[in-house]
Structure 1
Amino acid sequence: MRTDPLTRPDRSRRWPTVTAALLLFAPAALAHPGDRGAALLLALTAALAAVVALLAWPLGRVTLATAAGAAAGASLLVDLCYPGPYRLPAFWAPFEWLALIGVLFRAVRRLPDRWAGPIGGLVGLAAVVLPLRFALRMPQGGAAGPVGGVLFSLLPVLGVGGASLYLRVLDARRERAVARARREQRLEVARGLHDFVAHEITGIVLEAQAGQLPGPETEETATLLRRLEEAGLRALDSMDEMVGALRGDQEAAGTTRRPGLADLPELVARFGTKGGPRATVDLAPGVVGLLSAEAQATAYAVVLEALTNVRRHAPQAAVVTVRVAPEPDGRAVRLTVGDTGGPATRRLRLRRRPGTGGTGLAGLAARAAAHGGTLTSGPLGPSGWEVCCTLPGR
């Protein structure tokens, strides 16, 4: 719902607005006794329009649409039924017309779509025909007076209506941009959770399962527990970084370094120390400088996801190979992660809830496409699997 200073509750504005509206009734007390009833009627319509234009809405159960419709309807009704002399409306008409212009601006810009057009049109009509209240009652005035009054009122009404409609479009664009930014932020956090925290948690679960295998406690068990601690700490660090991003911590965001191609050897070495497949990395010389920081972060995430999938689905694979090299034309970088496959033991296979997982590579494919690259995956050899990602250079 659109909000602005005139649609948010603000009690400090009520009494000044009511006081100003009541002042419009003061001249009616000075009118000729025979015209006092007509003067009070004119003051009432002007005061009603002023209150709608200035007060914050909703007021109790009364919405802006209801109040604006009432003000416009009252003005049109007085135009049709005004019983007094033609000169009397000239005092209140300017105040009422300005108030109706204010109501028109708020109605077109702030009302919901289903009400903005009808209520805005009704208020605009009331403002346009307001000069007829006295122009049609002028003796021997002819048609020039009423036509001139309507044209004089029509141009500002069209201008204000167009300006408020333009601002309404800008407001809608801004709301869509904010919603899109929030969605992208949520997706970024989801990617971070999947790419980094899920990887570490997967390792923790698998090593915890390995620690339950029967056998005497040895130095190997102590090493396993240390690796569990380190993986847990890394997961906590990743969570801290994502929480800082959600809070909009610019200082923290500026000091957080994105992982890139240069970090792949450490990632692969850490993967190899947790048991399971033997992992190797082949990083071509000079390939790090070919990709932007954002593309390198995507490449790192691809390797991380592929290694995590090996742990989940092929922990008995003999070898996992990571290769990063430029394409022959030098305009792109090709990254592959392949494993030899093999049946997973029942004890070490990660148990997962039905309906979870399977979204990592799809999300990374979208990230690669955003950089102008591609990501594919498929069988390798008799029982292996390979993930291939191509990213364009700078």
Structure 2
Amino acid sequence: MLVPALLAPPSAAPLAVVAALTLAAALWVWPVGRVSLGWAAGGAALLSLAVDAGYFGPPGLVILWYPCETLALLVLLERAVRHVPHPKVAFIAPLTGAAAVLLPLRFTLHAPTTGLKESVAGALFALFPVALAAGIGLYLRALDNRRAHAVALARREQRLEVARDLHAFVAHEVTGIVLEAQAAQLVDEADPEESRALLRRIEQAGLRALDSMDQMVTTLREAERRKWGEPPPTRLYGLADLPELVDRFASMATAEVALSLEDGLAGALSQEAEDTAYRVVLEALTNVRRHAPGAGRVEVFAGRTADRAVEVRVADDAGPAAPAGPRQGGGTGLAGLDERVGALGGTLNAGPHGPGWRVRCLLPAPAGH
């Protein structure tokens, strides 16, 4: 860019220097130190406009650097429209665009055969590529914003999923630990076997809670390393896991626990729907521990309805006289699960039923199941 200026008259030096600086600004990776892309684009545009106003050399010299400077200004305009943040872009983009539109005047105002008419025509002709560069920048900026918004929503959903998992799994185990600790206070000190059994159950519940927390932390860390759009690697449970869940609950409960699981039901739903059904049972059993410690019997049912939907329900018999705490629809966990069940086309209801409380979930089975 600068070599031709060595062979040209001294008046060509500003043309060469400004063209070289503009091209460097268009190709450089910004920011550099405290100099951002906005400052680089604005400075290059101001230098170009200054040369337009102050150049009075031979008009033929302009042609040597005109194409490169025009292209550099268009690239700068596209980059500025795409990357310069608000509100600075509202000043930088028009300034850079004006420098590209007015660049033909550097030749038409000084050539002996051109005048005002040619200057206006040159500016109008330059307006088309300027508008195209600005449009490309706006389109790419919109894509970037949409992608950033989608990534932010995905990360938010992942964090909410982790929060739901912590509430569902860790709260379930911690509630059991609290109840076992309360029971330990009533154990006769002369019965060491019962004390050891209680401590063993507390230890196992604590280890399961720690495992759940470790899994959630691992999920968060892996989410940062994965490419956007990949699903989080959280473990999905299903109807086949209900016996193990109910057995775990029964080992820490004083109530009689009964599970009725229809044969062949596992796999009748999608993986996400089965995981949702499992979480409904987990949340309902956790709420029984919290709010109905006096329940004498807890029934867990999973089977098909007459219209082939899958029904999951958990019911207890803790009557009004039982020392149960406030029961506002099963807690905030069921409120979140209600949205999840609704998104799958199902329904979730929780409320008084007979002498106690019941949580009932209906999930439609895919066609052919």
User: TM-score range, shorter-chain basis?
Assistant: 0.7 to 0.9
Q: Which residue of 2 aligns with 1:374?
A: 347
Q: 1:65 aligns with which of 19, 26, 38?
A: 38
Q: 2:67 aligns with which of 89, 94, 104?
A: 94
TM-aligned CA deviation for residue 96 of structure 1: 1.7
Q: Work out whether residues 377 and 385 of structure 1, in 8 Å CA contact, stay in contact via their aligned partners in 2.
A: yes
Q: Does structure 1 residue 229 correspond to structure 2 residue 203?
A: yes
TM-aligned CA deviation for residue 109 of structure 1: 1.0
Structure-to-structure mapping, 1:1-394, within 5 angstroms:
24=2, 26-32=3-9, 36=10, 38-142=11-115, 145-215=118-188, 216-248=190-222, 258-330=236-308, 332-342=309-319, 358-382=331-355, 384-394=356-366
1:309-351 superposed Cα distances (whole Å, 9 cap, x missing partner):
1111110111111122322211x222221111245659xx89x
Describe the SS at the equivalent of 1:247: helix
Q: Work out whether residues 350 and 360 of structure 2, in 8 Å CA contact, stay in contact via their aligned partners in 1.
A: yes
Aligned counterparts of 1:29 and 1:243: Cα–Cα separation in 2 = 64
1:76-122 superposed Cα distances (whole Å, 9 cap, x missing partner):
23223322232232222223212212211210111113233432222
AA aligned opposite 2:95: L
Identity of aligned residues (%): 56
Q: Work out whether residues 219 and 233 of structure 2, in 8 Å CA contact, stay in contact via their aligned partners in 1.
A: no
TM-aligned CA deviation for residue 360 of structure 1: 0.8
In the alignment, structure 2 segments of 5+ residues that lack a partner are none
The worse-fitting range, judged by mean Cα deviation, of 371-380 and 256-265 is 256-265
Q: 1:126 to 1:254 in 2, by over 3 A?
A: closer
TM-aligned CA deviation for residue 287 of structure 1: 3.1
TM-aligned CA deviation for residue 293 of structure 1: 1.8
Q: Work out whether residues 327 and 333 of structure 1, in 8 Å CA contact, stay in contact via their aligned partners in 2.
A: yes
Aligned counterparts of 2:62 and 2:7: Cα–Cα separation in 1 = 14
TM-aligned CA deviation for residue 374 of structure 1: 1.7
The worse-fitting range, judged by mean Cα deviation, of 38-47 and 105-114 is 38-47
The worse-fitting range, judged by mean Cα deviation, of 253-262 and 291-300 is 253-262
Once superposed, what is the RMSD of the aligned Cα atoms? 2.8
Q: Work out whether residues 294 and 322 of structure 2, in 8 Å CA contact, stay in contact via their aligned partners in 1.
A: yes
Aligned counterparts of 2:135 and 2:25: Cα–Cα separation in 1 = 20
The worse-fitting range, judged by mean Cα deviation, of 317-326 and 218-227 is 218-227
1:122-145 superposed Cα distances (whole Å, 9 cap, x missing partner):
212211221111112211325664
TM-score for both structures, normalised by structure 2: 0.86
Aligned counterparts of 1:99 and 1:262: Cα–Cα separation in 2 = 64
Aligned counterparts of 1:68 and 1:266: Cα–Cα separation in 2 = 64
The worse-fitting range, judged by mean Cα deviation, of 225-234 and 300-309 is 225-234
Aligned counterparts of 1:140 and 1:258: Cα–Cα separation in 2 = 78
1:357-384 superposed Cα distances (whole Å, 9 cap, x missing partner):
93211111121112111212112235x2
